[in-house]
Structure 1
Amino acid sequence: MRRILAMWGLLCFAVCGVAGGRPGPAPAAIDLSDLGAPSFTSFGPRDGLPHAVLLDVLTDREGFVWAASPNGLYRYDGRLWSAPEDPVMRRAVDSLWLDRDGVLWAALRDAGVAHLQAGRWQVEDLSTGMPSQQVRRLQETLDAQGRWQLHALTWDRGVMTRRQGRWQADADNASLPPGPVLSMAQTRQLGAPLRQWLGTGSEGLWYRDAGTTGWQRMHIEGIDVAQIEFLHVTGEGEHEALWISAFGVGLLKLDARGLQRWQAGPGALPTNDLYDLASTPSTDADPVLWVSTRAGLVRLHGEHLEVFDRRHGLPANAVRGLQMWTSPAGNPVLWLATESGIARTVLDASAWSTASLMGARSTGVFAALVEPDDHGGERLWVGASEDGLALYQGHRWQRFTAQSGALPFPSVSLLKFTQDGAGHRQRWLGLGNGDLLRIHDGPRLAREATPWPRVPGNSVLDVLVRQAEGQEERWVGTRQSGLYRWRNGQWTQIQLEGIQGQWRIDQLVNQRDAQGHDWLWVTTNQGLLRFDGQHWQVLGRESGLPDSNLLGATLLDDAAGRPVLWLGSTSVGAIRMDVTDPAHPHVLGDRLPPAPDSTVYSALRDSRGRIYLCTNNGVQRLTPQGAGYRSQVFTRREGMLHDECNTHGQSIDAQDRYWVGTLGGLTVYDPRHETLPTEPKPLRLTARWIDGQRVPGTSLQVPAGAREVDVDYALLSWDRESESRFRSQLIGAEDQPGPWTAQSRRSFSNLPAGRYRLRVEARDHAGTPSTPLEVDIHVQGHWWQHPWVWGMAAVGLVLAGYGLSLLRTRHLRARQAELEAHVIERTTALAAANQRLVELSYVDSLTGLANRRQLMELLEAQSRQSSPRSLALILMDVDHFKALNDAHGHLAGDQALRRLAATLRHCADDQALVARYGGEEFACVLQDANLGQALAMAERIRAGVAASRVAIPGETPPVCVTISAGVAVAVLARQEDVDALLRCADEALYRAKHEGRNRVRAQVMPAAAAAASPGPVATAPEPDGR
């Protein structure tokens, strides 16, 4: 849980037997099949289902799943749900049935029935001779001759039976009351051999015995005028029972011992509004019954009843229909039709199950411990946020809450078992407000007197009891007020130098070294504490710990027998510290497999040496392998209730089952049920398409000219379908199969004519391969693509080619001479054009001067010369150029720049490079010139520009334009000298601008000082030309 400090529940499970006496038999383990909630997978509109109530669900002989709805029938292919293309089935479907021959039937609400035959739906109604087409449900029974008969239960005409392909009214319909018949079942021995049972819409339960005529009312108090929604038979012989779903009344069970009822009430049914029934076998004589109701799915085993609803992952609380189906691997698969979608659970497929939803409305479960009860079994204690404490024993829950007055505060933060000096078990209960309670036998809760503040948030996080100097010593850690010790009947608060602010004590661990001396280790939010009995030391980052905000702590011996302290942390995962010498501990540098999250709360080891780390993103199991560990991560995908663990809400019981308190409740992992599926799943061909049109059959005959061919397939795995993988190979066109992907369609475009075979392979989430699927594809060719046509064409082409080659050779020789002359002409022209492009790339298009590129290449080339030379650089900028543009327009600005360029060309030496530096800036480079010469040149240019006038088109008189100039001289020996020269010239230009414009200023570089000679400096007319 990312809100690490929200609650703290410490579980350190240490069950020790009472000293003395022979050990008794191991207690019977808690039955998780009764306690645990299934893990549901839900399907809704985003998976292809309609926005409608789902009424029934059924799996056919091929493994496809069908759902009935008022919008029609939908099929699940292991990937998506889709409606049949046949418009006949786009009408209301009430229920589904799979007969003994594997034929799928659908009851169409007021349009008869339909059955799927050879991939097509056949409808039977009044027009085909049915006595009624208002069918509610279909059912099969066995007649006295051992033949199976299919019946249709109608809303208006009693029962119909199908004989020799035609529907006939039941001969005893006259003995039935008017109104709908909703359900039917048959028992083998109950009441009489092969007794048939009927449930009516408002007249209760009726029956008929084999060899007799007429239906008889079964008088049962309370249901004579009830709506018998569904009938279901379980067991054989003396255990045979008829289960009755009476809508609005409840659930009834009729067997040889009599009648038993279940109705809505506390600890019983959540509602009396019941629908369909199904059952699965159990390890005892009582089957597990599943009931769909308007308030969730009910599981009933013996007298133990559990309800599962949207909190457990169902799409809706109202469950309208259900089907129990056995997969080829032997797993019971329960499908549910709800009012908002379809749900599925594969029973016994996951080692994870949900034990409790306590705390789900808040921050979950923070404590879970299992201990032997007093009756040869086990009991489970669970503590949660806002929901208090609960005890599960004998298939029943007993709850202790603040609302009932059993607890002074609603949230549990700690549940821990310790031993006193005599070896007797002590049960400690910590609450979120700082209260500490003892749980005595009974159970009876007693509040302890404690000195720390009892305020919400100051949770009790840990209790440790040990013997010190012959006396019992108790240590208690709190969330906000630190650490306390109880000894000689008095409490002492531990205060250490350097601890600041709230001091969270997470876990306490006692270590007895080889000399029999006790050391106390304490994880806190400010480091790891060590207490040798006299002195405290705080170990933090300076001691080698990568994180000082620590969580759980567990002392485990490694393979060499060294004691290793496993520490949880908030940001670096699990930390391992060798404490063989507690006075000199050191962090182990060997690397563990990366955890699924950086926050690790606890590390617990089972009897087989497997270590479980609980994190904010699932559980990581480390199994010893060689010198390291093999990692396996469990999340919701594997069946966990929630991915985020809670602080120390974990324990391992005597059966090696791992109990995990999470943000969503309590989940448990039973490694004994950890199995990987090995049964190959059926790989089915679902559709074939040619140019977007669906085609029947198992092979593909592709006509000539067809462009697109698509083949759809599906792996019916019924669990974790998103992890199924496929690969394929088009034999005849591809040398080997493609990569494994999740794509369940293969598409081809413009296949050449010929015969191919598409081979598809698949594997499920566990990597179990399925039997490959092969599809023959025959692409027909056009008439001109036949081999004999190609043969004749080849001969004709050879002859024609020989004749044409003779003519062609003569023509080519003449053409060759002409082309050679043309190539020479074009090559010359191209070279001239290229030369012109090169020149243009170095010339400014507006002024005709060199551009910045040519200027920079000259300077850089000079810096790479083996014999450095002195260069002078004059940078010039047009004064008030923006104002000129704003006042007279851009055409005037362009005219001024051209005028300035002409003046520069006139004033500069032939050996000087004059360039447009950018915008209204210009540059002049003088080679082998000193500073005086450069200044003279700059002043000549400045004066020439000032004396000239710029004619503005359409305006009089002409405009006067001036420039400012900056001069610098440098010997260029490296690239850095070029940068320095430009920088100095720019600084000089800036000074000229700053001092009033229309003047020249120089910037003397140290490296160029030797090149400068004394002499007058030309400036603008005002004095101080320096």
Structure 2
Amino acid sequence: MQARALPLLLAFAAALIPVQGGAAASPFGAVPPVVQAGPPQIPTDPDRWLPWRLFTWRDGVRTANPALAQDSQGYVWADGPVRYNGRSWEKVEVPGEAGPVQCWSMLAASDGSLWLGRLEGGLLRLRNGVWARIAPGSGLPAGRVGSLVEGSPGTVWVGTTGGLARCREGRCEEERRLRGTNVRSLAATRTEAGRPALWIGTSRGLLRLDGVDGPTPALSPRFADPAVLPDLSVRALVETVSPEGERSLWVATEGGVARLRRGAWTRYDARSGFPAGPVVKLAASRSPAGRPVVWAGSFRAGLIRFEEDGRWKLYDTRSGLPANVVYNLLLTPNEEGREPTLWVETPAGLARLEREHWTAVDSRLGLPNDLVIGAGEVTFPDGLHTYWIGTVGGMVRRTPRGWERYVTPAVGESDLVFSALVAPDEDGTPVFWIGTTNGLHRFARGAWTSFTSRSSPLPYDWVTALLAVPGPRGTALWASTNWGLARYERGTWTVFRPGSSSLPGNPSHGLARSPAPDGGSILWAGTEHGLARFQDGAWEKVAVPCLPDSAVSAVHPVAGPEGGWLWIGTLRGAARLALDGQGRPGKACEALTDKTRPAIPQAQVGRIQTDAWGRVYLLTDWGVSRVTVPPGRGLDAARVELFELGDGLPGMNFNAAFVDHLGRVWGGAAGGAAILDPAPP
């Protein structure tokens, strides 16, 4: 954790000390209160990570204090202050300040002004490019400014550790009845008669101030029923309104969350299975269908999402959140039909939830080395079905404890692993195969067997790709090496070398299968001198007139209504070759390079994958290009999207790729592994 985050942690910790006292009153909801336990958690897939983009001190963002806001021009502001213009963060100088401003809270008002609540007390206001100060005293209670909320246009309510004030035209008026009260949260609302009102969360319970548009607002008795509130110290408030006009009040406390709806309370605390610890922030959002959604930030457990019906999901570091300690939440507008964008401030940085963002896995998360040469999903001999990553420092697999080394009697700690799969033996017994730089290793019936160029017909010890091919005699295993292909079927090896087997050259990593109309298989192999096709027991070279380069590094069949397409990666770009209904090469052939329109930058294509919507991912030596081809159109009508380091990629030069059972695209690069959960087009 950054050293500069320590003051914030200490301040939060001090604020967690409960304040006792006062008799409970219950002006809200039914009398006596009707309370029910919160519904259970909605299960989440532990392997599915949210697409977070993280901004840290390297980007110019400091998370020493929790202030966040978006102004009327669309800039996102954070402590410092600094602001984000959509590309980068820039420091904002405040005249008269010797150093960074310690901002604890922020508010963007409807008149275009920006309000900053200071850690040491007092306010700053930016309006029309001019900064103004409001010091504690003269109507503004002393103490840390913890909450800012807009009332009527031009009016801002300010909650501090010393009380509540109403500010307008640069002057503040203290609400004397709350003098000395630690006001921690405010939320605008309306009374049952429709008049403007204010929810007030304090360190000793909840209040409501009615008629705040008038000169003498009415203050309710303090609501501090321990049977309703998980803790009497209220940390955050938010009100949601359904499309039908139904209001719900959400109250975050030191011990959980309470919700007031239709006159009854729902209580979320550890007794009902809710995460223990303080909930410090709430943010009201909407689903794409327009239904209310509430995000809650925990100071211990991460991020919670409440649906309108009260059910909830938990997202923490296992879901990709940079830290389980949440300081603040911010929602910013998004394009029509999508939820507002969520920003989460944590000690590890400011995270923004994006529609799509690559999740990186590198040595900081357990990889032996950041240079990834293989990756996949497989069932291991001990029965664990999981993901694995091969690096130049050895192989790891994902376990409930994180990424852990995988070592066997056949595969050493530092062995380089390119490929792994499970294929049935001739009697149906599952066999685990693993391709390394030290040969091919097989686990079956409780024992390991190793095949090398010295102990078997294997052409070369570097086994760079494996492919299981079902057939009438069972499943055959194909192994690609730098000096030829080898097939293992029913205990017998068959070797295919350039020249003697009609392979046009030594194979690359490109090896793929497409189904034949008769139920058999057609194999495709990329070689140093072009594309090869295998059917009926023989290889033949395939003429590809649009091929950008003769060195083929990747092949990937894509099924279609009339046979589909074969995508081909080369050292100078990609091509797609039409396949007819018999799986034979057709006439249509198109290229995609750094000189075509559209173009792909740095067109050395190392791997190719497709997602559930048929979009093609070209993993290159300079990031990932996603190609969307409209149905029935050519590549000249394609849309090309480029993913780079700013999109979460840990590196740009890719050596491995696969799509997992969740539909996520994985890539292995010089810098780590990257995972993308594709959003629909």
Aligned position for 1:206 = 205
Deviations 1:695-726 (A, max 9, x none): xxxxxxxxxxxxxxxxxxxxxxxxxxxxxxxx
Q: CA deviation at 1:658?
A: 6.5
Preserved contact between residue 282 and residue 294 of structure 2 (Cα < 8 Å): no
Aligned position for 1:465 = 469
Deviations 1:880-901 (A, max 9, x none): xxxxxxxxxxxxxxxxxxxxxx
Q: CA deviation at 1:212?
A: 6.1
Preserved contact between residue 389 and residue 412 of structure 1 (Cα < 8 Å): no
Cα gap change, 1:449/1:286 in structure 2, threshold over 3 Å: closer, same or farther?
Answer: farther
Q: CA deviation at 1:113?
A: 2.5
Distance in 1, Cα, partners of 2:612 & 2:406: 40
Preserved contact between residue 251 and residue 262 of structure 1 (Cα < 8 Å): no
List runs of 5+ in structure 1 lacking aligned partners.
1-29, 371-379, 392-396, 439-445, 675-1026
Matched, 1:644 2:648: no
Cα gap change, 1:648/1:125 in structure 2, threshold over 3 Å: closer, same or farther?
Answer: closer
Q: CA deviation at 1:523?
A: 3.9
Q: CA deviation at 1:206?
A: 0.9
Aligned position for 1:291 = 297
Distance in 2, Cα, partners of 1:564 & 1:557: 7
Distance in 1, Cα, partners of 2:83 & 2:304: 27
Distance in 2, Cα, partners of 1:381 & 1:241: 42
Instruction: Describe how 1:658-673 pairs up with structure 2 within 5 A.
Output: 659-663=665-669, 664-668=672-676, 670=678, 672=680
Q: CA deviation at 1:287?
A: 2.8
Deviations 1:464-502 (A, max 9, x none): 2222xx4214123155796543434x2425264879xxx
Q: Secondary structure at the match of 2:146?
A: strand
Q: CA deviation at 1:239?
A: 8.3
Aligned position for 1:354 = 358
Preserved contact between residue 187 and residue 242 of structure 1 (Cα < 8 Å): no
Q: CA deviation at 1:56?
A: 0.9
Preserved contact between residue 172 and residue 213 of structure 1 (Cα < 8 Å): no
Distance in 2, Cα, partners of 1:507 & 1:41: 34
Q: Which residue, 582, 597, 601 being the options, matches 1:596?
A: 601
Cα gap change, 1:431/1:277 in structure 2, threshold over 3 Å: closer, same or farther?
Answer: farther
Aligned position for 2:642 = 634
Aligned position for 2:382 = none
Distance in 2, Cα, partners of 1:243 & 1:403: 47
Deviations 1:926-977 (A, max 9, x none): xxxxxxxxxxxxxxxxxxxxxxxxxxxxxxxxxxxxxxxxxxxxxxxxxxxx
Preserved contact between residue 461 and residue 477 of structure 1 (Cα < 8 Å): yes
Aligned position for 1:619 = 625
Aligned position for 1:244 = 252
Q: Secondary structure at the match of 1:87?
A: coil
Q: Which residue, 120, 125, 145 being the options, matches 1:115?
A: 125
Matched, 1:66 2:66: no
RMSD: 6.1
Higher relative contact order (CA 8 A, sep 6+): 2
Q: CA deviation at 1:121?
A: 3.5
Preserved contact between residue 545 and residue 587 of structure 1 (Cα < 8 Å): no
Distance in 2, Cα, partners of 1:85 & 1:45: 22
Distance in 1, Cα, partners of 2:116 & 2:158: 10
Q: CA deviation at 1:421?
A: 11
Q: Which residue, 60, 64, 72 being the options, matches 1:53?
A: 64
Preserved contact between residue 189 and residue 198 of structure 2 (Cα < 8 Å): yes
Q: CA deviation at 1:122?
A: 3.6
Cα gap change, 1:522/1:89 in structure 2, threshold over 3 Å: closer, same or farther?
Answer: same
Cα gap change, 1:260/1:354 in structure 2, threshold over 3 Å: closer, same or farther?
Answer: farther
Aligned position for 1:383 = 388
Q: CA deviation at 1:635?
A: 1.4
Distance in 1, Cα, partners of 2:591 & 2:153: 68
Counterpart of 2:667 in structure 1: which amino acid?
G
Preserved contact between residue 480 and residue 509 of structure 2 (Cα < 8 Å): yes
Aligned position for 2:458 = none
Instruction: Describe how 1:327-342 pairs up with structure 2 within 5 A.
Output: 332-335=340-343
Preserved contact between residue 280 and residue 299 of structure 2 (Cα < 8 Å): yes
Matched, 1:132 2:141: yes
Preserved contact between residue 517 and residue 583 of structure 2 (Cα < 8 Å): no
Counterpart of 2:122 in structure 1: which amino acid?
G
Instruction: Describe how 1:475-874 pairs up with structure 2 within 5 A.
Output: 475-477=477-479, 483-488=485-490, 490-492=491-493, 494=495, 496=497, 506-510=509-513, 520-523=523-526, 531=534, 533=536, 550-555=552-557, 565-569=566-570, 571-574=571-574, 591-594=591-594, 595-604=600-609, 611-617=616-622, 618-621=624-627, 623=629, 628-631=635-638, 632-636=640-644, 639=647, 641-642=649-650, 644=652, 646-647=654-655, 649-651=657-659, 659-663=665-669, 664-668=672-676, 670=678, 672=680, 674=681
Q: Secondary structure at the match of 1:634?
A: strand
Preserved contact between residue 75 and residue 83 of structure 1 (Cα < 8 Å): yes
Cα gap change, 1:32/1:121 in structure 2, threshold over 3 Å: closer, same or farther?
Answer: farther
Aligned position for 2:35 = none
TM-score normalized by structure 2?
A: 0.63
Q: CA deviation at 1:653?
A: 8.1
Cα gap change, 1:335/1:482 in structure 2, threshold over 3 Å: closer, same or farther?
Answer: same
Cα gap change, 1:298/1:99 in structure 2, threshold over 3 Å: closer, same or farther?
Answer: same
Aligned position for 1:682 = none
Deviations 1:755-809 (A, max 9, x none): xxxxxxxxxxxxxxxxxxxxxxxxxxxxxxxxxxxxxxxxxxxxxxxxxxxxxxx
Cα gap change, 1:41/1:604 in structure 2, threshold over 3 Å: closer, same or farther?
Answer: closer
Distance in 2, Cα, partners of 1:257 & 1:589: 62
Counterpart of 1:215 in structure 2: which amino acid?
R
Counterpart of 1:287 in structure 2: which amino acid?
V
Counterpart of 1:619 in structure 2: which amino acid?
S
Q: Secondary structure at the match of 1:574?
A: strand
Q: Secondary structure at the match of 2:592?
A: coil
Q: CA deviation at 1:213?
A: 4.9
Deviations 1:273-302 (A, max 9, x none): 87544343336978352527589x735465
Instruction: Describe how 1:301-380 pairs up with structure 2 within 5 A.
Output: 303-307=312-316, 320-326=327-333, 332-335=340-343, 343=350, 345=352, 347-348=354-355, 352-354=356-358, 357=361, 361=367, 362-363=370-371, 366-367=374-375
Counterpart of 1:592 in structure 2: which amino acid?
L
Preserved contact between residue 527 and residue 549 of structure 1 (Cα < 8 Å): yes
Instruction: Describe how 1:404-443 pairs up with structure 2 within 5 A.
Output: 413-414=418-419, 430=434, 434-435=440-441
Q: Secondary structure at the match of 2:72?
A: coil
Counterpart of 2:340 in structure 1: which amino acid?
P
**Identity of matched residues, %:** 17
Preserved contact between residue 459 and residue 478 of structure 1 (Cα < 8 Å): yes
Q: Secondary structure at the match of 2:303?
A: strand
Counterpart of 2:143 in structure 1: which amino acid?
Q
Preserved contact between residue 284 and residue 292 of structure 2 (Cα < 8 Å): no
Cα gap change, 1:280/1:357 in structure 2, threshold over 3 Å: closer, same or farther?
Answer: farther
Counterpart of 1:244 in structure 2: which amino acid?
A
Cα gap change, 1:39/1:130 in structure 2, threshold over 3 Å: closer, same or farther?
Answer: same
Q: CA deviation at 1:77?
A: 5.7
Distance in 2, Cα, partners of 1:347 & 1:515: 45
Distance in 1, Cα, partners of 2:446 & 2:52: 38
Q: CA deviation at 1:532?
A: 5.2
Q: Name the count of aligned residue pairs.
A: 578
Cα gap change, 1:404/1:309 in structure 2, threshold over 3 Å: closer, same or farther?
Answer: same
Matched, 1:278 2:286: no
Distance in 2, Cα, partners of 1:45 & 1:356: 17
Q: Secondary structure at the match of 1:215?
A: coil
Bigger Rg, which one: 1
Distance in 2, Cα, partners of 1:60 & 1:458: 57
Deviations 1:17-47 (A, max 9, x none): xxxxxxxxxxxxx999994433426375876
Cα gap change, 1:540/1:344 in structure 2, threshold over 3 Å: closer, same or farther?
Answer: same
Counterpart of 1:134 in structure 2: which amino acid?
G
Deviations 1:673-701 (A, max 9, x none): x4xxxxxxxxxxxxxxxxxxxxxxxxxxx
Counterpart of 1:667 in structure 2: which amino acid?
I
Q: CA deviation at 1:184?
A: 3.9
TM-score normalized by structure 1?
A: 0.45
Cα gap change, 1:287/1:450 in structure 2, threshold over 3 Å: closer, same or farther?
Answer: farther
Q: CA deviation at 1:132?
A: 2.9
Cα gap change, 1:658/1:235 in structure 2, threshold over 3 Å: closer, same or farther?
Answer: same
